[in-house]
Chain A
Amino acid sequence: MDKEQKNSSDRMTRRSFIRSSARGVLLTGTGWTLGYLGGRGTAEEWVWQIDPSKCIYCENCATACVLSPSAVKCVHEFEICGYCRLCTGFFVPDSIALDESAENQVCPTNAVVRKFIEDPYYQYSINEDNCFGCGRCALGCNAFGNGSLYLQIRHDRCVNCNQCAIALTCPTEAIRRVPKSRPYDKKLQVQEENPQGGESEA
């Protein structure tokens, strides 16, 4: 009887052990999910964005983003653009000709699209599928033109990491959190809000 009782109690212990383990795994998993979603939930009120007045187009945005290609793209604010025939965001310095040949273009992936409007004006737009956010076009435009090309984190692809990987390495701390309701930092909008800051070139 003693032996029988012992066997039965052993069986009970194994069963209860398996049951307890399963319960433990379930509880830990539930906790993990809740914690993860909680972490995301707080991040979703804010999104990461580049302050165009601080960005120096160091090319880091092209490589530091967790996405490949980067969630950072060049954007074009047409209200500021001079529609120049010779766009320093499009052409390499002293290009051989002012045409669309690849060797004349500053963009390594030909993502800036040049379109004739009327003599002598051209419109420049960005093919975001080709853009990987190196900022070379924006550097040329900001240094010599009106600064209508600049970099922004595009929220149709950014996964809104809790800590933006580019922000960790940005040399000018240009990346900051902005309210999700106003996810882009438009240059003219900034100037309208800060009229004493100076004047638009456009």
Chain B
Amino acid sequence: MSGRESKENRRRFLLRAAGAGALLGAGAAGGIVVHRQMPRARAGRGVTARLKPGRGYDLEALAQVDPALIGYRRDLRFSTGMKAARGLAVTEAGEVLVAGDHGYARFSATGEALLAEPIDDSARAVWWDSESGAVWVAGERRVYRFAATGGLEAQWPMPYEGAHARITSIATSAGAVFLAIEERRRGHVLRCSMDGETAEPLFEPNPEEGVLPILSPSPYVDLGVTSEGHILVGNLGQCQVQLFSATGNLLAAWGRSSFAIDGFCGCCNPVCVAALPDGRVVTGEKGLKRVKIYRTSGELDVVIAAPAEFSAAAQAGEPDPQKLKGLDVAVRSDGAVVVLDQTDATVHVMLPVTEADSEFQIVGRA
């Protein structure tokens, strides 16, 4: 073979190799593109199941409340600055106590932070003792008593066995401390001595006699105390408010599950209860954040706050399962209702709408 011929052969070989490389490359590029585009290409295919309208939860519609039923207006709203605000109480002077994170904080009636005191575990609930002025704070499994002027005075462990038990609410009445406890979706109320040395159940359930057991699908069993010293229990799993004497006799029980404004929505409400001086009961719900007043007979009296009162982040259906969802309520001696929104850790002070307010609104609107 001459040198000229071998040169020609090399040139031909190189040309062929380049051509083959180009073809391989083009093929590979095509393959990648097809793989990338495949979902879009297939997305047009039909879906067997067709969605039928009207079967699910229309959260917007459920959250609507007839404005004519709302008898309170917001006077003040302030942030507690807490990550997890859990419980609320109000003193005689209108100071606001909030249990949250690892302690409790005291705010003036106008929302200025006055004091913050720590506890050893997560704070769940707080109570202001009108007889002594002491502040009682419940951790998950411990009870703490702070002096009226601040400073820890005493603490004792939850007097209840059960690895999964935790305190959800605390109250004092008739020289006793009452603890609401949740354990494995069941609730209990203990009447304890002030030093925590002795404790006994407030009542034994007896469904035949209408004393339903406390069910607690989520940890929100709440307590309140009436001006007569009776104990209000928010039996959320039964959608009931129960009223017991301090010695454990059932005095009243009412409530039903319903999304209608006079019911307690969903499976687990009310999540908080408090008593007005005249015996009417304030309730708060999660899911649809509604705060309402019921007469002692269990009829709806007035709506304090509709879901629209609370921030967008606190509305039903907001996708944040890591947030607390509930409310807590307390009553001020002048009739104001104070609400803690756990979702964004804010306090709302609600005042009854007076005739003067209505006139102002009418004038304002005109």
Measured in the bound complex, the distance between the Cα atoms of B322 and A197 in whole Å is 6
* Contact indicator B23/A147 (Cβ below 8 Å): no
A70 on interface, CB distance cutoff 8 Å: yes
Residues of B within 8 A of A88 (CB): 57, 266-267, 287
Q: Which of B24, B267, B317 contacts A142 (CB 8 A)?
A: B317
The stretch of B32-40, B89-97, B126-134 that contacts the partner chain: B32-40
A178 in contact (CB, < 8 A): no
Given known A-B contacts A86-B267, A143-B59, A144-B316, A28 and B26 have beta carbons under 8 A apart: yes
Whole-angstrom distance between the alpha carbons of A132 and B317 in the complex? 21
Whether a CB of chain B sits under 8 angstroms from the CB of A183 is no
Q: Which residues does chain B contribute within 8 Å of A37, judged by CB atoms?
A: 31
Q: Is A75 an interface residue (CB 8 A)?
A: no
Q: Given A23-B20, A35-B31, A194-B322, are A165 and B237 neighbors across the interface (CB < 8 Å)?
A: no
Q: Is A47's beta carbon under 8 Å from chain B?
A: no
CA of A64 to CA of B42 in the docked complex: distance in angstroms?
Answer: 10
Given A31-B25, A132-B49, A199-B84, is A84 in contact with B31 using a C-beta cutoff of 8 Å?
Answer: no
A152 on the B face (CB < 8 A): no
- Would you call B26 and A144 a contact (CB within 8 A)? no
Output the nearest chain B residue to A198 by Cβ-Cβ distance: B322
Q: Is A63 an interface residue (CB 8 A)?
A: yes
> Which of chain A's residues 149-196 have a Cβ closer than 8 Å to chain B?
150, 161-165, 168, 172, 174, 187, 190-191, 194, 196
A173–B59 Cα distance when bound, in Å, is 21
Known: A27-B20, A108-B55, A196-B83. A56 touches B49 (CB 8 A): no
Also in contact, A106 and B56, with CB within 8 A (given A29-B27, A194-B322): yes
In the complex, the answer to whether B237 meets A84 with C-beta atoms within 8 Å is yes
The B188-224 residues at the A interface (CB cut-off 8 A) are 215, 217-219
Using Cβ atoms and an 8 Å threshold, which residues of chain A touch B24?
Answer: 27-28, 30-31, 34
Find chain A residues with CB under 8 A from B365 CB.
none
Residue of A35, A94, A201 touching B258 (CB-CB under 8 A): A94
Cα(A154)–Cα(B28), bound, Å: 30
Measured between alpha carbons, how far is A125 from B10 in the docked complex, in Å? 71
Contacts A31-B27, A68-B45; is A84 near B321 (CB within 8 Å)? no
In the assembled complex, the CB of A188 is this many whole angstroms from the nearest CB of chain B, namely 10
Contacts A68-B45, A132-B48; is A140 near B217 (CB within 8 Å)? no
Query: How far, in Å, is B15 (CB) from chain A's closest CB?
Result: 11
Q: In the bound complex, do residue A161 and residue B38 qualify as a contact, i.e. CB atoms below 8 Å apart?
A: yes
Contact A164 B39 (CB under 8 A): yes
Task: Please give the number of chain B residues whose Cβ is less than 8 angstroms from any Cβ of chain A in the complex.
Answer: 61
Centre residue among B39, B42, B43, B185 by max chain A CB count within 10 A: B39
| B276 adjacent to chain A (CB < 8 Å) | no
Instruction: Report which of A27, A132, A194 forms a contact with B47, defined as CB distance below 8 A.
Output: A132
A186 to chain B, nearest CB (A): 11
Contacts across chains A and B counted by CB atoms under 8 Å: 208
The residues of B that contact A53 with a CB separation of less than 8 Å are: 319-322
Q: Given that A31-B24, A68-B46, A146-B217 are known contacts, is A140 also in contact with B56, CB under 8 Å in the complex? A: yes
* Min distance, Cβ A77 to any Cβ of chain B, angstroms: 10
Partner of A140 from the list B26, B32, B57, B324 (CB cut-off 8 Å) is B57
Which chain B residue shows the least CB distance to A105? B55
Task: Please indicate which of the listed interface residues B83, B218, B219, B323 has the most CB atoms of chain A within 10 Å of its own CB.
Answer: B218
Q: Is the CB of B23 within 8 A of A24?
A: yes
Known: A121-B185, A145-B266. A33 touches B319 (CB 8 A): no
- Residues A83 and B185 in contact in the complex (CB < 8 Å), given A132-B49, A136-B55, A191-B322: yes
Which partner residue on chain A sits nearest B40 by CB separation?
A165
In whole angstroms, what is the CA distance A202 to B321 when docked?
A: 11
- Judging by beta carbons under 8 Å apart, are B51 and A38 in contact? no
CB-contact partner of A32 in B27, B83, B215, B317, under 8 A: B27
* B265 touches A (CB below 8 Å): yes
A147 to B323, CA, bound (A): 11
Q: Are A82 and B218 in contact (CB under 8 A)?
A: yes
Q: How far is the CB of B280 from chain A (nearest CB, A)?
A: 25
- Contact, CB under 8 Å: B28 / A162: no
- List 4 other contacts, CB 8 Å, given A28-B23, A143-B287, A172-B319: A30-B24, A84-B268, A146-B218, A199-B122
23 inter-chain pairs at a CB distance below 8 angstroms, sorted by A residue, are A28-B27, A31-B30, A32-B34, A35-B32, A37-B31, A38-B31, A52-B319, A62-B51, A68-B48, A88-B266, A92-B56, A94-B260, A144-B316, A147-B321, A161-B39, A164-B39, A165-B40, A191-B322, A194-B322, A197-B322, A199-B122, A199-B324, A201-B218
Partner-B contacts on A (CB < 8 A): 23-24, 27-40, 52-57, 59, 62-66, 68-70, 82-88, 92-94, 106, 108-109, 120-121, 132, 134, 136, 139-140, 142-147, 150, 161-165, 168, 172, 174, 187, 190-191, 194, 196-199, 201-202
